[in-house]
Amino acid sequence: MQGLLSPLAFHTNLFSARAKPCGDGLVFRLHYRVTFALLMACCLLVTATQYIGAPISCLSEEVLPQNVINTYCYIAGTFTMPSTAALRLGWKAAQRRRVVPTYGQEEKRYHNYYMWVPYMLFLQSVSFYLPHWLWKVMQTDKVRGILQGLNYVVVDEEQRRIKEVLMVNYLVFHWGSHTAWACKYVLCESLNLLNVVLQLLVTDSFLSGQFMSYGPRVVRYLRRGAEDDIDPMDQMFPRLTKCTFYRYGAGGSLERYDALCVLSINVVNDKIYLTVWFWYIVLLVLGSLLLLYRLVTLCSPKLRFRLLQARGSKYGADPAIDDVTRQCSYGDWYLLRTLSRNMSAPVFSSVIKQLALQLPRNRTSNEVKV
């Protein structure tokens, strides 16, 4: 199992900013690193039959070859009888819930999603990587080019001063031109949030409208621990199903064979989608709070100053930070904020002090601040 998942290990390192500078935040990395790795691991897991066994095993009459009935039922789908679940709870529970067992064609609930689960998980994992790919195309490694290695903890003193001067010169020369760059990043963050909402809806449709309420129903069932309650995991991902196989007999008549199937794959699927449900909700909440945070920082220069101050105040950079914040647009502030996350506090304070000294002599009067 370790060998199966080892190719995904490099995606889960969220705090590699010092080794490799990046222009995105923690929540952004949760989408294209953690979520991508999680969904790809689930995709590999449901296809690893050497660990979970055959996805389906059907028991039928001996006249039918085992491999034929297994293949047919896996492709054509199986079904359950919802009313029989109430019978397993006992007649008393069935009467209390006013369940009247019925038998008929309209009662069957077909399940044919399980053969498409690996493909769905793979496509969903790719969808979580697309905003990151789009951001990489649009930013063209701007942060890495500006840092020039200043993100490393150990830097030669002389080289550090030279790189600081080059960084300050770049910031002064391009001051006021980073708003479009910052807006592209916020757009990619919005795409992440939109993608989470879309995947919730797509998964709910894929699982016949039962996914949205899946997490709360499982939690409610586990909290009650009642024997007379229907397990939502078994209801949504049944382990024991039926399958009907038809073939022509020797006389040309159509013969019907009923098979009882064990879906061992659903032992994995129910845990996968329970984990995915909770993780999607976490991403939805974090993404919504992040967009609210972006809106607040866009409207509050004072908050922007406080956020930069938290990084450089220990090294006497408060006056310089105040001067820079008063003159910078939202795009310039976001670039400085991103650079501060990739540099040590002393180096960032030194850059801010030099920038504050040079900006008044280089700013023009027609620049528009956001």
pLDDT at 7: 46
pLDDT at 147 over 60: yes
Per-domain boundaries in the chain: 2-77+112-362
Q: Which of 86-90, 197-201, 226-230 has the lowest mean pLDDT?
A: 86-90
pLDDT at 3 over 60: no
pLDDT band at 312 (very low <50, low <70, confident <90, very high): low
At what angle are helices 345-362 and 330-342 packed, to 10 degrees?
A: 150
pLDDT at 176 over 70: yes
Q: What is the CA radius of gyration of the chain?
A: 29
How far apart, in Å, do the first and last CA atoms of the chain sit? 52
pLDDT at 95 over 50: no
**Most confident region among 67-71, 122-126, 170-174 by mean pLDDT:** 122-126
Q: How is the beta sheet containing 78-80 ordered, strand by strand?
A: 57-59, 254-262, 240-248, 78-80, 109-111
CA 309 – CA 318 distance, rounded (Å): 6
Nearby residues of 96 by Cβ (< 8 Å), 6 or more positions away: 228
Task: Give the C-alpha distances (Å, rounded to integers) separating 18 from 156, 268, 344.
Answer: 16, 37, 9
Nearby residues of 308 by Cβ (< 8 Å), 6 or more positions away: 321, 324, 325, 333, 336, 337, 340, 352
Q: What number is the average pLDDT over the span 208-232?
A: 82
pLDDT at 92: 44
CA 304 – CA 229 distance, rounded (Å): 53
pLDDT band at 151 (very low <50, low <70, confident <90, very high): low
pLDDT at 365: 38
pLDDT at 366 over 60: no
Task: Determine the 3-state secondary structure of 45 from DSSP.
Answer: helix
pLDDT at 290: 94
pLDDT at 261 over 90: no
Q: What number is the average pLDDT over the span 256-269?
A: 84
